[in-house]
Amino acid sequence: MIEAELKARVRSPEYVMGKLDHRAEGRAEVYQDTYYDDPSGSLSAQDQELRVRTVHGPHATQSVLTYKGTRIDPESGSKPEHETRVDSPEAVHAMLRGLGYVPAISFQKRCRNYEFRQYGRSLLATLVQVPEIDGTFLEVETMVPGEKELSAALDDIRSVMAELGLHEADFTTELYTDAVAARRASDAGTVPPV
């Protein structure tokens, strides 16, 4: 499966939230993300991600293990994605460390998620704030079975984002991991790794 996703910086979060509230009921959740890599950083160097995420929601907490492959669309940053729920995130952290992976970076995301159908697709729109990064972001995503379907899915996502008041100039492919690492390096007076 491929995660077709676009991300944008949001200039007017209240406006976008209001538009989304008319489409679906928002769900406030806090994500605690830990990204793993091998000690040489080869996953990051190959544009791959290995993540353990624990989601604290209003009624439950759940965790997932995610692997994302190399981007197949540089404009959007869309990647193949494989994800599974895990009953014991502590056990998964221990397994990954036992296999030689090390935590590369951990941080928190404060999210408001909206699930709805449009253009015949199940979509997830997420308003995101990362305490260590200035601003609010909107991610809109859907899953497609292969590369042939990616372009049409991204066109539909662009249409949804335009309806929410976002435009191409607002789009970004910057990763939260990179932005958080840069902020921490700046705060520490060091240069972030390349």
> pLDDT band for position 194 (50/70/90)?
low
If you average pLDDT over residues 62-74, what whole number do you get?
A: 96
- pLDDT of amino acid 190: 75
pLDDT tens for 75-130 read 999 999 999 999 999 999 999 999 999 999 999 999 999 999 999 999 999 999 99
Average pLDDT, the chain: 96
> Where exactly are the structural domains of the chain?
2-188
As a whole number of angstroms, the distance between CA 37 and CA 12 comes to 35
From the options 2.40.320.10, 3.40.1620.10, 2.60.130.10, 3.30.110.40, give the CATH code of 2-188.
Answer: 2.40.320.10
Tell me the whole-structure pTM to 2 decimals: 0.93
Q: Distance between CA atoms of 20 and 126, rounded to whole angstroms?
A: 9
Which residues, in sequence order, are CB contacts of 55 under 8 Å at separation 6+?
A: 29, 30, 31, 61, 62, 63, 64
